[in-house]
Structure 1
Amino acid sequence: MRVALYGESAFAYYLVAGDAPSAVAPPSVLDKSCYPTQATLDYVRERMPYLTRPVHCLVPKWERCTLDDVHLHGSSYPYRSGSFLRIDHGVIVSCPELCFLQLAQSLDLLPLIQAGCFLCGTFGLDPSVPSGLMGRTPLTSPRRIGAYLERCPGHDGLARAREALRFVCAEAASPPEVFMRLVLGLPARLGGFGLSGSVMNRRIKPSKRAKALAGRESLVPDLYLPDCKLDIEFDSNAEHLTARQATLDATKRMALESDGLKVITVTTSQLASASAMRHVAQEAHARRGTRLRLRCKNFALRQKRLYQLRWSMDDYLDEGWVAAQRSCCRSSALHVEVF
C-alpha cells in the first residue's frame, strides 16, 4: 500500500523539507493501491506529525471514504514523468510544480501567490530554532512552474495558477521578505503599490571601493530595483541587533551607497503598517522618477485583504507539533543560558 500526498498536505511537507526529494516515482504509481487504509494513515502521521488533519490524498478515482481525518481527491489526469516524488517508504508527494497547481484549485489568488513564493524561496520553516527558519536551495522556480503548467492542458486550476504565477517571486529568504515583495510589487488591483521589476537576493558585483568597505566579494540586496539602483532592505531585528550583525548591515549599506545605490530600510513595525509602507512606496517611486498612482476602485479594501495574509504559513502545519517544537527551542535556549 502507498499514499500520495496532495495539495495542502504536499505543501505542508515542502514547508518543512530540507531539500526537494530526488527520487522520481513513475506516473503509474498512482493506482488503486493509493487508496489509504487506517494502517497507512497511522504510518504517515507517525512519520510526519506536522501534517494537519484531514490528510489530503490523491487517488485515481474518488470514492467515499469511511476513515476519519482523510480527504480524498480523485483524478484520472494523465500525469507526466516527474510529477510524483518518493519521500518515504510507501509515501509519494506531488512535485512542487504540481503542488502549486493543486493549490490553485482551493486557494484564492493572494494566498496562492504567497504559497508560490514560499516554494521558490531559499528558506523552509523550522520552529525548533530561534529564527523559525532554515536555509535551503529553492524547491522550484517560476520558470520551472511555468514550464510544468504548459504541459498540463485542461488540468483543474490551470487558469488561476497561470494568473498567480505572474506575481510569484524567486529567492526570497524569509516570510517577511515575501510579504514585503507582495505589498510593494503587486498591482493596485491586488492591494499592492505597483513597484514592478524588482528582484530578490540577487548577487551584484561591487566596485573595488565597495568591496573594501564591505569586506566581501559580492553584495546581496534584499529587494532590488535595477532600473533605478534602489535597494529595499528588510531589518527584522532593528531593535535587538547584535554588535556583529549591526556592523555587517552598516558596512553593507555603506558599500551599496558608495556604488550609487539608494538604500531604504524597512522594519517589522513598518511592514505591518500599510500607511508606513505607502511612504516607502512613494520614496521608491520618487527614486524611479514616477509618482505613486493607485488607479483602482476600493483600493483600501483590496489592500486590507492583502494585509489579512499571515506572514508565516504555520496554519498549514499541525498546531500541536509547532507548539512542541517551539517549546523545545525555548528549553534549549534556557539550558544554554543557565550553563
Structure 2
Amino acid sequence: MSIVLSHSTALQLYRAPARPSSMPTFPQTARPLKTGAPQETDIARARTLLASYGVPDQMLETIDVLVSHQKERRRRAGVRCHVCAIELPPQSLVQLDAGIFAVDPRFCALLAAQSLSRLELVEYFFELCGSYALPFEEGGEYRDAAPLANVASLESFFRAMSGSRGATKALWAARYTRDGSRSPMETSTTMTLVLPKRLGGLGIRGVRMDRRIAIATSARRMTRRGCFYADVYIESARLLIEYMGMRHEEERRQVEDGERDNALDAMGYHVVRIWRWALFDKASYRRILEKICVQVGLRASRFPPDFADRQEELRRFVLRAWLK
C-alpha cells in the first residue's frame, strides 16, 4: 500500500461529481494499517486523479494522508500526515488506483469528528446519509447524489472504532442524524426538529425522512398518486412536514399538492408546510415551529427559559450559507 487519502481530502473526494460510483474495498478482514512514508510521485498521482474527478485545484494544494507510524510522517509542503496506529475494520478503505487508497465514507465521517463542531458534524452526516452532495464553493448549487452511508452503518463503524479520537462525538452526532434527506434545506428543517432543546432544537423523537405513505382505498379518488413520500414524518402525531421549495410555486405543482393534502386529511394525517421564504423570517419560522409543538404535544413548560435565543441561534446556523 502506498498512500491513504484522509480527512479533508477524503471529504472532497466524496463530494466530487465525477468520482467512480463503485470502488473496491479493503481490507477483507480487520487488520492494522500498513503504509510507508508518502512519496512525492504518489502525491502527484493522487492530485491528478482527484482533479479528474472534479475536485478544484485550490483544494488540492495540501493532501491529507494516513500513515501507520510516527516515523513515516513527512514535513513537506503539499502533504499533511496523520498517524493511524489502530486496527482497521473490514472494508474501511477504498482503492482509487494502484497504490492509491482512501478512507471509506464511514471512516471519513469519523475523521470529520476530529475537526468539525457538533452541529457541523450532524449536518455533514445528514449529507452522507442523504441523496445530495454539497458544492465545493460557497454559494454553489448542490447536486443529486446517491447516499454514501446510512445511520446504522455509521453507528456500527463508530462503535467498532470506539477507542479512536472522535468516536464518542461521532456517535452523539449520529443519534441526531436521519436517513433520506433530499436537500440541504430539508436537512436544515429536520435538524431544528430533532436536536436537543439545549441546542435550540425541539428534541422530537421518532422523526423519519422520505417516509413512504401508501394511499388508502378510501382516498384513491382524491389523487392520481398511489403513494406519497413525506419529507419529514412524525409517527406519534401522524404529522407530515413538507419543505416547499421554488418548484412548489408552479401552478401545476400547487394543484397536485392540494390533491395530496385532501387525500392525507381523509386518511387522518396532518400536514405542516414550511415555505422557503418562512425559513428566512425569524417570526414566521417560530410560529411554524410552535404549530408543530402543538401537533406533537410539546408543552412550553418543558423548554428552557432562554429557548427562544437558542432556537434563533440554531436557525441562523443551519441557514448560514444563505443568510450571508
Task: Establish whether TM, by shorter chain, passes 0.5.
Answer: yes
Distance change in 2, residues 1:247/1:159 (3 Å): same
User: Can you list the C-alpha shifts for 1:130-187, whole angstroms capped at 9, x where unaligned?
Assistant: x934444321111111111221131111111111111011111111000100112211
The aligned counterpart of 2:48 is 43
| C-alpha contact 2:151 2:178 (8 A) present in aligned 1 | yes
Is the partner of 2:317 in helix, strand or coil? coil
Give the partner amino acid of 2:35: D
Candidates 37, 47, 54, aligned match of 2:62: 54
Match of 2:266 among 258, 263, 271: 258
**Normalising to structure 2: TM-score of the pair?**
0.84
Q: Does 1:77 align with 2:78?
A: no
| Residue matched to 1:330 | none
Distance 2:284 2:196 in 1: 18
Deviation at 1:90, TM superposition (A): 4.2
- 2:192 corresponds to: 183
The alpha-carbon deviation at position 302 of structure 1 amounts to: 3.5
1:9 corresponding residue in structure 2 = 9
Paired with 1:36 and 1:271, the residues of 2 have a C-alpha distance of 48
1:285 equivalent in alignment to 2:293: yes
Alignment match, 2:95 = 86
Q: What is the TM-score normalised by the length of structure 1?
A: 0.80
Cα 1:163–1:125 shift into 2, 3 Å:
closer
2:169 & 2:101 partners in 1: Cα distance? 25
1: CA distance, partners of 2:230 / 2:112: 30
Deviation at 1:307, TM superposition (A): 3.3
Q: Show structure 1 runs of 5+ residues with no match.
A: 315-339
Given that 2:223 and 2:260 are in contact with CA atoms closer than 8 Å, whether structure 1 keeps it comes out as yes
Three-state SS of the structure 2 residue aligned to 1:201 is: strand
Q: Hey, what does 2:26 align to over in structure 1?
A: 25
Is the contact between residue 193 and residue 294 of structure 1 (CA under 8 Å) also seen in structure 2? Answer: no
Deviation of 1:215 after TM superposition, in Å, equals 1.4
**Do the aligned residues in 2 keep the contact of 1:2 with 1:36 (CA within 8 Å)?**
no
Q: How does 1:109-128 map to 2 (within 5 A)?
A: 109-125=118-134
Aligned with residue 66 of structure 1, among 56, 76, 82: 76
Distance (whole Å) between structure 1 residues aligned to residue 129 and residue 212 of structure 2? 17
1:234, distance to aligned residue in structure 2 (A) = 0.2
- Check whether the contact 1:281–1:292 (CA below 8 A) recurs between aligned residues: no
SS in structure 2 at match of 1:192:
coil
User: Which amino acid in structure 2 is aligned with residue 39 of structure 1?
Assistant: A
| Structure 2 contact 2–35 (Cα < 8 Å) conserved | no
Alpha-carbon deviation of 1:77? Answer: 1.5
Unpaired segments ≥5 residues, structure 2: none
Supply the distance in 2 between the matched residues of 1:86 and 1:113 (Cα, whole angstroms).
27
Q: Could you tell me which of 302, 307, 314 is aligned with 1:299?
A: 307
Identity %: 24
Q: Secondary structure at the match of 1:168?
A: coil
1:133–1:19 Cα change, 3 Å: farther
Larger proportion of strand? 2
| Superposition CA RMSD, Å | 3.0
Relative contact order higher in (CA < 8 Å, ≥ 6 apart)? 1
More divergent stretch after superposition (13-22 vs 54-63): 13-22
The separation in 2 between residues aligned to 1:141 and 1:80, in whole angstroms, is 17
Deviation at 1:114, TM superposition (A): 0.7
- Say yes or no: does 1:246 pair with 2:247: no
The answer as to whether partners of 1:186 and 1:196 remain within 8 angstroms in 2 is no
Structure 2: which amino acid aligns with 1:233?
A: E
CA contact (8 A) 1:207 1:259 kept: yes
Moved segments of 4+, more than 4 Å: 17-20, 27-30, 33-38, 310-314
Instruction: After TM superposition, give the deviation of residue 89 of structure 1 in Å.
Output: 4.9
